[in-house]
Amino acid sequence: MDKGERDSTGMQRHHSKRFAKNTFHRRRKPHDHARLQADAEPLLKGIFAKIGKPVSTPFTPDEFQLHALKAIGKTDCLVIAPTGSGKTWIAEQAILSVFERGGRCWYASPLKALTNAKWVEFGLHFENRNVGILTGDTKENVDAPIIVGTTEILRNQLYDVMHRGEDLNCDLVILDEAHFLGDDDRGVGWEEVMIYLPVRINLLLLSATIGNGEEIAAWLSKIRGKECVVVREEKRPVPLYPLFLHPSGRIMPYLEKKRLFSKISEFLHEKKKGKPYRGKPPHFGEIIGILGKFQLLPAIFFLKSRSECDAALKTCGRLPDNDADNTFHYTREELVSRFPYLENHKQLYHLNTARVASHHAGQLPAWKFLVETMMKRGHLRAIFATSTVAAGVNFPARTIVLFNSDLFNGREFNPLKGTEFHQMTGRAGRRGQDNIGFLLVVPGRFMDIDHIRRLLYKKPEDIISQIKNDFSMVLNLLLSQTPEDIRNIFKNSFAMYQHTYRINRGDELAESHDLWEDFLKHLHFLRAEGFVNENNRLTENGFWASKLRLDQPLLIAECLKQQAFPMDNENLLAAMIGPFVYDGDQNIKIAGKKLSRKLIRAYNRVLSTLRPLAERMKAAGFSVSPLYLWTSAVLYDWARGVDWDDIIMAAGLSDGDMAMLVLRTADNLRQITSLKETHPEIAALAVKAREAILREPVIFE
């Protein structure tokens, strides 16, 4: 499961009280007629006159694109350029150059949705027969000269070739969204790719939001012994103009030069004096009406939580019938016919009648795909989304709307950072469709107006290394490396480079990485458990356990060793894997009387088998996540054919959370299927278990 695609239940509970006080759209009748006369400052007349589609001209590459293309033809290159500025064109041309010479390319991205989109896009560009895809869910045309996949799969391929003593069959690697190097959970995989990648393979890094590009390039140049050229482009392809929405419904400029617009300053002064605006601020539907009057649609509304996104739909009234568009109906019908489950989707009404949609991690992959497609094709007036969409697939709008200047990180609210802000505003303005893009700031209880002003001039933050040991990483390194080799790998890490560089510069690194000591701790435990011998080489158990590239490889390996998993029932096997993939803290209570005795027996057997190992892990200082029974219960029901909606209703889960649980379980089962030689029976059963759970509405073609 992609961490960035999660919206934790803890956050939902945290929000329930907080948003009850937000008056922007509460206590409204679903289809109130607008109470406000939409208005705008006369100063904006000239700005709004620029709205429109730019004149179509033959494509001419920008100077930075040509510079990057020249660099990647010879060496490594890091391209830092705003969203929509043409980074993909650089990638396509670099791939074409290698492809025409008979070479092979690997295009890696952090998100499965983005990977799938690139697969389709490259298939059209280079012909389907020349493009393959590799993700945890999809594996097609894997011998093609151009492979699109997730970064973790590329990292796993590097493990395998290092073990076999081979070279990766590739001539160019492209890492899209390269700022994921600094992601708390995913960054380790990105750093591993950069460290393990053979020097002869040129590396192209693409990102819109990296503050310390020169530092990353210097590190890569040091460990790879070849120059990494940094190509920066500051200019947005579509200029951004920031606006402010007064509670009265009047739109005004956000800035005068670099200061707040005078009437905004007056508004803030009145608030400080205890004289806030006495009228009722507009709700979401009214804001859409205001934006529509000034031709500022389509818009993306960035909201705090899933529930707020869904509730916003109810404020959007029906459009007149004469607004109906045949192409809208055609596209919608074509998509719904591909995903029949969506015919009864509870939010289809709002999409049909108001041309609005909600998009967040709590929804089905197919629904999110439908919304993205409708938005890209210009059929929607607005979408209500959580901030995760800013780092996901590319569907920009003319305007983005911000209501809050802080962001929930899973534990607490923190002020928006430059990187997060630039990811959001990067969606404002569609290249080739807009002359100008807009940011609309809406005042409210959780909006620091001056903080947004500062962010408009703030660069993205520096990326800090997130590399750390886990049992899967240690096992896979020991496949081909000695501990001394691994010590040298850690010396080449970005973490060590940053630590040394910043100490020499007199800075303090926020967190010191003692990778070697932590590695020895993992190694000692693996040796004590029989996965590593006295010579620090993998035992037979260690060898097959290394193939379990999972979050909890030792726990699953222990169940396999002790034959604790069901051996003759694929539905039960899927159910027993579920607890290992869930990393949230929600413990849903399920009535014991409703549970199958088979399920209870299988679950208790797994728990009793793992209890001694879990105690040893805790004693050695390793955390052990709880294994929740409810995850087994919902997966067992799904695997044996219980209706999706009934499962969702009984457990109180969102569609998206259930889908992610299924997909992550399927990915863990896929790892078990790789154990054909050492565990043929359970590997064969894992194939059947995957088939039992991978069906609509979880997957879609």
CA torsion 186→190→191→194, rounded to 10°?
180
Q: What pLDDT was estimated at residue 279?
A: 63
* Total number of domains constituting the chain: 3
Q: Are 548 and 580 in contact (CB under 8 A)?
A: no
Q: 113 and 35, same structural domain? A: no
What CATH number does residue 640 fall under?
Answer: 1.10.3380.30
Q: 303 and 194, same structural domain? A: no
Q: What pLDDT was estimated at residue 2?
A: 41
Q: What pLDDT was estimated at residue 29?
A: 43
In a domain, residue 661? The reply is yes
Res 285 pLDDT > 60? yes
Res 24 pLDDT > 60? no
435-448 average pLDDT score: 94
In a domain, residue 218? The reply is yes
Task: Choose the final residue of a domain: 455, 470, 487.
Answer: 455
Task: Choose the final residue of a domain: 232, 258, 277.
Answer: 232
Give Cα separations from 123 to 103, 115, 117, 146 (angstroms): 17, 12, 10, 9
Burial class (CB in 10 A: 0-12, 13-18, 19+), 594: exposed
Q: 67 and 48, same structural domain? A: no
Q: What pLDDT was estimated at residue 149?
A: 95
Residues comprising the chain, all counted: 701
- Whole-number Å distance between alpha carbons of 261 and 443: 14
71-95 average pLDDT score: 95
Task: Choose the final residue of a domain: 232, 253, 286.
Answer: 232
Using 50, 70 and 90 to split pLDDT, how confident is the model at 156? Answer: very high
Q: What pLDDT was estimated at residue 4?
A: 38
- Whole-number Å distance between alpha carbons of 443 and 250: 12
Q: 424 and 299, same structural domain? A: yes
Q: What pLDDT was estimated at residue 321?
A: 61
Q: 323 and 213, same structural domain? A: no
Q: 169 and 70, same structural domain? A: yes
In a domain, residue 463? The reply is no
Q: What pLDDT was estimated at residue 507?
A: 65
In a domain, residue 341? The reply is yes
Q: What pLDDT was estimated at residue 20?
A: 34
In a domain, residue 469? The reply is no
In a domain, residue 419? The reply is yes
Res 10 pLDDT > 60? no
415-431 average pLDDT score: 92
Q: What angle do CA 92, 96, 99 make, to 5 degrees?
A: 135
Res 31 pLDDT > 70? no
> DSSP letter string over 206-232?
EES--S-HHHHHHHHHHHHSS-EEEEE
Q: What pLDDT was estimated at residue 390?
A: 55
71-100 average pLDDT score: 95
Res 173 pLDDT > 90? yes
In a domain, residue 135? The reply is yes
Using 50, 70 and 90 to split pLDDT, how confident is the model at 511? Answer: very low
Using 50, 70 and 90 to split pLDDT, how confident is the model at 505? Answer: confident
CA torsion 575→580→584→588, rounded to 10°?
30
Assigned token pair, 8:
């934790």
Q: What pLDDT was estimated at residue 36?
A: 63
Q: Which of 187, 209, 231 is nearest to 75 (CA)?
A: 231
How many CA atoms lie less than 13 Å away from 662 in the CB half-sphere?
30
Using 50, 70 and 90 to split pLDDT, how confident is the model at 449? Answer: very high
Residue with the two structure tokens 């604790």: 564
Res 573 pLDDT > 80? yes
5-22 average pLDDT score: 38
Q: What pLDDT was estimated at residue 185?
A: 86
Q: 436 and 419, same structural domain? A: yes
Helix/strand/coil for 253: strand
What is the domain range of residue 97? 63-232
- Whole-number Å distance between alpha carbons of 196 and 158: 7
605-625 average pLDDT score: 97
402-412 average pLDDT score: 85
210-225 average pLDDT score: 97
Cβ burial 677-698 (10 Å sphere, 16+ → b, else e) = eebeebbebbebbbebbbeebb
Res 544 pLDDT > 90? yes
User: Taking the complete model, does pTM exceed 0.85, yes or no?
Assistant: yes
pLDDT (tens digit per residue) in 32-66: 444 567 899 999 999 999 999 999 888 899 999 99
Cβ burial 283-293 (10 Å sphere, 16+ → b, else e) = bbbbbbbbbbb
- Identify the DSSP state of 242: E
Give Cα separations from 215 to 78, 113, 114, 502, 556 (angstroms): 11, 30, 27, 10, 39
- Whole-number Å distance between alpha carbons of 571 and 573: 5
Q: Are 542 and 531 in contact (CB under 8 A)?
A: yes
Give Cα separations from 244 to 45, 174, 253, 277 (angstroms): 15, 39, 6, 15
- Whole-number Å distance between alpha carbons of 240 and 553: 47
Q: 70 and 207, same structural domain? A: yes
Assigned token pair, 277:
């605006």
Q: 210 and 108, same structural domain? A: yes
Q: What pLDDT was estimated at residue 513?
A: 63
Q: 316 and 173, same structural domain? A: no
Q: 165 and 243, same structural domain? A: no
In a domain, residue 491? The reply is no
Percent of the chain topping pLDDT 70: 91
Q: What pLDDT was estimated at residue 473?
A: 97
Q: What pLDDT was estimated at residue 510?
A: 43
Res 11 pLDDT > 80? no
- Count Cβ atoms below 10 Å from residue 314 Cβ, excluding itself: 17
Q: What pLDDT was estimated at residue 610?
A: 98
What CATH number does residue 194 fall under?
Answer: 3.40.50.300
User: How far is C-alpha 280 from the geometric centre of its chain's CA atoms?
Assistant: 36
Res 591 pLDDT > 50? yes
pLDDT (tens digit per residue) in 258-267: 999 999 999 9
Res 206 pLDDT > 70? yes
- Whole-number Å distance between alpha carbons of 288 and 354: 10
Q: 198 and 281, same structural domain? A: no
Res 90 pLDDT > 90? yes
Q: What pLDDT was estimated at residue 701?
A: 63
615-629 average pLDDT score: 96
Using 50, 70 and 90 to split pLDDT, how confident is the model at 391? Answer: low
Average pLDDT over all residues of the chain:
89
Q: Are 225 and 74 in contact (CB under 8 A)?
A: no
pLDDT (tens digit per residue) in 546-570: 999 998 999 999 999 999 999 999 9
